[in-house]
């Protein structure tokens, strides 16, 4: 399994989304976190299982129960999570983070 490293802004996106879901319904924030953890484990185990986003260096893992995607790239024997994006919001805002890895 490859180590999975979270970009600081991706960590913030996870926490913000979990807090939002928890404020809407008790327990949903924890469900969101559990689904993120499952996605991160899968990314670490088989990162090439996920398609390249628009032919670029980033790969995308869609969540099953929430309208979010986890974008990551592989570098230095690790999977670097660049963003955790609500798919109903402005697309591509995270692309400048690719330069941070």
- The answer, as to whether pTM is greater than 0.75, is yes
Q: Is residue 67 domain-resident? A: yes
Q: Which residues pair with 73 in a beta bridge?
A: 80
* pLDDT of res. 92: 81
Q: Which of the two residues, 90 and 38, has the higher pLDDT score? A: 38
The residue range of the domain holding 58 is: 4-88
- The pLDDT score that the predictor gives to residue 73 is 96
What is the structure's pLDDT at 31?
A: 98
In the predicted structure, residue 55 carries a pLDDT above the cut 80: no
CA distance 44 to 66: 20
Across the chain, mean pLDDT equals 93
> What is the structure's pLDDT at 42?
97
Looking at residue 13, which CATH number applies to its domain?
3.30.2310.20
User: Alpha carbon of 65 to those of 9, 50, 69, 85, 91: distances in Å?
Assistant: 22, 18, 11, 14, 19
How far is Cα 16 from Cα 84, in angstroms, rounded to an integer?
10
pLDDT in tens, 8-41: 999 999 999 999 999 999 999 999 999 999 999 9
Q: Is residue 50 part of a domain?
A: yes
Domains identified in the chain, total number: 1
């Amino acid at each position: 399994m490859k180590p999975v490293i979270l970009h600081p802004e991706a960590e913030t996106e996870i926490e913000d989304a979990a807090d939002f879901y928890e404020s809407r319904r008790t327990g949903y924030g924890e469900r969101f976190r559990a689904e993120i953890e499952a996605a991160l484990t899968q990314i670490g185990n088989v990162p090439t299982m996920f398609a390249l986003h628009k032919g670029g260096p980033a790969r995308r893992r869609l969540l099953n129960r929430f309208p979010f995607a986890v974008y990551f790239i592989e570098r230095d024997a690790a999977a670097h999570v660049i963003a955790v994006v609500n798919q109903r919001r402005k697309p591509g805002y995270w692309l400048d983070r690719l330069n941070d890895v």
